[in-house]
C-alpha cells in the first residue's frame, strides 16, 4: 500500500505543502505547512494552513503528525498552529540542535531551547514512525542545512529543499552549516532509491520555459534529467557549480522573520511587556 498525496501550493513563497494519507486507516500527516506572512505590513494569516486542515476534516482523516523537512528560511512554518488545533505531533530532524545553536543567539532568543524540545519528536537516520498501516522512514540528507531529512513513506520520498524539479536543479548550500559536498552525497543516497520512487519536492520556482507549477517527479527522472546532476556529474564538478551559483544568490525575502518563528517550531516570539509581538531585524554593516 502506498500513500495518497494531495499538495497545496503557496505561490507567495513557492512552497509545496503535502498532505499524506494512509487510505486504509485514514491516518494523515502534513509536510512543511505554511504560515502566511505579508512582510510589508507584517501581517500574519493562517489561511494556507487552514485550507489543509479543512481537507483533513472533509475527508474524515486523523492527523497524526506535522513533518518538517528542516528549519525553513523562505517561509514561516504553521506547525505550531496545526499542533495546537489538532494535537498532531510536530516532527523534525534531530540535528535541528545545530541550527538552533546558530540562530537562537543571532536573534537574542533566550526563550528558545537549543535542545530542540520545542518540537515533539526529533528523528535520526534509520528511525521510523508508525503511520496507520504504513511506516515513515528517515534518511538524513544534509547539505542545504545540517538538519535536513527526507521522509520515506511507501513508494514516496519527501525531500524538502534537497532537490527540486529536474528543470530547476538542487538546493543552495550557502546558509550556516550548509555544504555543497555534503549535499551531493545526500542526493546520491536519494538517487540510490528505486527509480520509480515518487519524489515530492518542497518548492517550485518556475524555470524559464515552463508556466505550470510542479512538485512531483521520480528518482529515475531526477537521475536522468536534473540539470545539476545529469551526465553523471562528478562530486568536484557539482561542488564547483553549486558554490559559484550560490555566490550570486540573494538571501530569501523572508529569511529573518521565518527563522525567528521556525526555531520556535512555528510559534511567535513571546510578547513584549506591552503585549505586542515583535520580529527583530538584526542589523549588520556592509
How many Å apart are CA 166 and CA 237, to the nearest integer? 18
Whether 103 shows a pLDDT value over 90: the answer reads yes
- Report how far residue 209's alpha carbon sits from residue 224's, in angstroms, rounded to the nearest whole number: 19
Q: Is the pLDDT of residue 169 over 90?
A: yes
d(CA 76, CA 71): 9
User: pLDDT band for position 108 (50/70/90)?
Assistant: very high
Task: Check residue 29 and give its pLDDT.
Answer: 99
At a CB cut-off of 8 Å and minimum separation 6, what does 268 contact? 44, 261, 277
Task: Please enumerate in sequence order all residues whose Cβ is within 8 A of that of 190, keeping only pairs 6 or more positions apart, or say none.
Answer: 139, 141, 150, 157, 159, 162, 163, 199, 219, 222
Cell matching residue 269 = 516570539
Q: Give per-residue pLDDT as tens, 209-264.
A: 999 999 999 999 999 999 999 888 999 999 999 999 999 999 999 999 999 999 99
Render pLDDT for 142-152 as a digit per residue (tens, 0 to 9): 999 999 999 99
Quick one: cell of 80?
Answer: 505550531
Question: What's the pLDDT at 185?
Answer: 98
In which band, very low, low, confident or very high, does the pLDDT at 189 lie, cut at 50, 70 and 90?
A: very high
For residue 284, the model assigns a pLDDT of: 86
Reported for 245-251, long-range contacts at CB under 8 A and 24+ positions apart, including other chains, are 245/172, 246/172, 246/173, 246/174, 246/180, 247/174, 249/172, 249/174, 251/73
> Shortest CA distance to 165 belongs to which of 196, 195, 205, 193?
205
Residue 230 has a pLDDT of 87
Residue 115's pLDDT is what? 98
Mean pLDDT of all residues belonging to the chain: 97
**pLDDT at res. 174:** 97
Secondary structure E strands in the chain: 4-10, 15-22, 27-31, 34-38, 43-45, 62-67, 76-77, 89-93, 121-123, 128-131, 134-140, 149-153, 156-160, 198-201, 216-218
pLDDT for residue 20 is more than 90: yes
DSSP at 250: P
Fold of 4-262: Metallo-beta-lactamase; Chain A (3.60.15)
C-beta separation of 14 from 24 below 8 A: no
pLDDT grade, residue 100 (50/70/90)? Answer: very high
Give the pLDDT confidence score for residue 285 in this predicted structure. Answer: 87
> Alpha helices, DSSP H only, in the chain?
47-58, 79-86, 96-106, 180-191, 219-225, 235-246, 255-262
What is the model's pTM? 0.97
Amino acid at each position: 500500500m502506498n500513500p495518497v498525496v494531495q499538495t497545496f501550493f503557496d505561490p507567495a513563497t513557492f512552497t509545496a505543502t503535502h498532505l499524506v494519507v494512509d487510505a486504509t486507516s485514514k491516518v494523515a500527516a502534513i509536510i512543511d505547512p505554511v504560515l502566511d506572512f505579508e512582510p510589508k505590513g507584517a501581517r500574519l494569516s493562517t489561511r494556507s494552513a487552514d485550507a489543509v486542515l479543512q481537507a483533513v476534516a472533509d475527508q474524515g482523516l486523523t492527523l497524526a503528525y506535522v513533518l518538517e523537512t528542516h528549519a525553513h528560511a523562505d517561509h514561516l512554518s504553521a506547525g505550531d498552529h496545526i499542533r495546537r488545533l489538532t494535537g498532531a505531533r510536530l516532527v523534525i530532524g534531530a540535528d535541528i540542535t545545530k541550527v538552533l545553536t546558530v540562530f537562537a543567539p543571532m536573534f537574542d532568543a533566550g526563550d528558545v531551547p537549543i535542545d530542540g524540545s520545542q518540537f515533539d519528536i526529533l528523528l535520526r537516520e534509520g528511525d521510523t514512525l508508525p503511520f496507520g498501516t504504513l511506516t515513515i522512514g528517515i534518511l538524513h540528507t544534509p547539505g542545504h542545512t545540517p538538519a535536513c531529512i527526507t521522509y520515506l513513506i511507501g513508494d514516496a520520498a519527501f525531500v524538502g529543499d534537497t532537490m527540486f524539479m529536474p528543470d530547476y536543479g538542487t538546493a543552495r548550500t550557502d546558509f550556516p552549516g550548509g555544504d555543497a559536498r555534503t549535499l551531493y552525497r545526500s542526493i546520491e543516497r536519494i538517487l540510490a532509491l528505486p527509480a520509480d520512487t515518487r519524489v515530492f519536492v518542497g518548492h517550485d520556482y518556475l524555470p524559464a520555459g515552463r508556466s505550470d507549477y510542479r512538485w512531483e517527479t521520480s528518482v529515475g527522472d531526477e537521475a536522468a534529467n536534473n540539470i545539476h546532476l545529469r551526465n553523471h556529474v562528478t562530486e568536484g564538478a557539482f561542488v564547483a557549480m553549486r558554490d559559484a551559483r550560490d555566490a550570486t544568490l540573494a538571501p530569501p525575502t523572508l529569511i529573518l522573520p521565518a527563522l525567528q518563528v521556525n526555531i520556535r517550531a512555528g510559534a511567535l516570539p513571546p510578547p513584549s511587556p506591552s503585549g505586542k509581538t515583535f520580529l527583530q531585524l538584526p542589523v549588520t554593516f556592509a
